[in-house]
Amino acid sequence: MKENLSTELFSIDFPCRVGLGAGFDRDARKIKHSLRTRYGFIEIGPVTLYQQPATYRSRQIKHTFQPNRGVKHVIHSIQAVYRRRKGPSLWVALAYGNGCQDVDSIVAEYETLYSLIYDFADAFTIDTSAQGANGTHPLQDDSVLSDILDSLLDIRSTYDSYKPLIIKVSPNISTEILQHILDYSRLNGVDAIMVKVTDIKAIDKAAAMIRSIREYTLDRYPVLCDCGQLSPAAINAAMEAGAQLVCGRRMAFVGFGRIKRLLSRRAAAMAAATEPAAVPAADNAVQQGGQV
């Protein structure tokens, strides 16, 4: 069953469908050890253009920023292992910092950040799920998100290498906002949607959103899940709903072996479910005109 643990998506071979999500290693300090694991991918960040303090809240945008040491530090850490690195694919979660006070500055920061780090990762994510003091995220605004993505997709088209771009959404957003994001993403070349769970109790809600996305897109658009807490129950719920890749940033247990056994059991169950039922010998005799 070993081959069933892996998958291919975005023309990338993933040795495992489970990865470590953003928040586990914001500054790429653990990258040397993370890349030696058997997870399918490692997501660094969230990374901003400049260093962020531990806590900051913009009065105008009302968004809480996650602390990190900035993109230059992350690039330096990646460069130390990049040429000889093997193992999981490396993703980077992009974010804007506390110096952004309007839409133009947010877009400009994303453009610079994306251009600087593009050559050092295999895929990128943009998170629209975090909520600010007013209960919303600026990137949930159609015009803001489309301005950012338009710029990033234009930048990507100038490179010879193609790197997937993935949008993270909260299971708490409205159906209307979700469908707008899906329509834009499918029409403009965004590679996948990732449903991000901020509360482990909301995993069932996230699973329901995964199913609704698959139904809305006729199961033709990749859906991923950031479970938050990487537990067997969360992995099972997300994969049963149809998530093609799953990740988490808070470890509910230690050791990759348990994940491998979980995926092996799922692969065996799926194989058994797709095998045709054996026809009893007596029925065979009747079908061939013989007597029972």
> pLDDT, tens digit, for every residue of 59-71?
444 444 567 888 9
Q: What is the mean pLDDT of residues 86-112?
A: 87
Q: What is the pLDDT of residue 2?
A: 43
- Which CATH superfamily does the domain covering 8-274 fall into? Aldolase class I (3.20.20.70)
Task: Check: CB of residue 14 under 8 Å from CB of residue 39.
Answer: no
DSSP 270-291: HHHHHSPPPPPHHHHHHHTT--
Average pLDDT, the chain: 81
Residue recorded with tokens 């079908």: 287
Look at residue 249 in the predicted model and tell me its pLDDT: 79
Name the residue with tokens 């605004």: 141
Quote the tokens at residue 196: 């991000």
- The mean pLDDT of 246-252, rounded to a whole number, is 75
190: exposed, middle or buried (Cβ count in 10 Å: 0-12, 13-18, 19+) = buried
Q: Mind listing the pLDDT tens digit for each residue in 154-197?
A: 999 999 999 999 999 999 888 998 999 999 999 999 999 999 98
N-term to C-term CA, the chain: 38
**Taking 70 as the threshold, does the pLDDT of residue 86 lie above it?**
no
Q: What is the pLDDT of residue 83?
A: 59
Domain boundaries, the chain: 8-274
Give 113-118 contacts, CB < 8 A, sequence gap 24+: 113/47, 113/48, 113/49, 113/71, 114/152, 114/155, 115/155, 116/49, 116/71, 116/72, 116/75, 117/47, 117/71, 117/74, 117/75, 117/92, 118/155, 118/156, 118/159, 118/163
Mean pLDDT over 193-208 rounds to 88
Average pLDDT over residues 232-250: 89
Distances (CA, A) of 180 to 126, 147, 169, 175, 187: 16, 14, 12, 9, 11
Q: What percent of the chain has pLDDT over 70?
A: 74
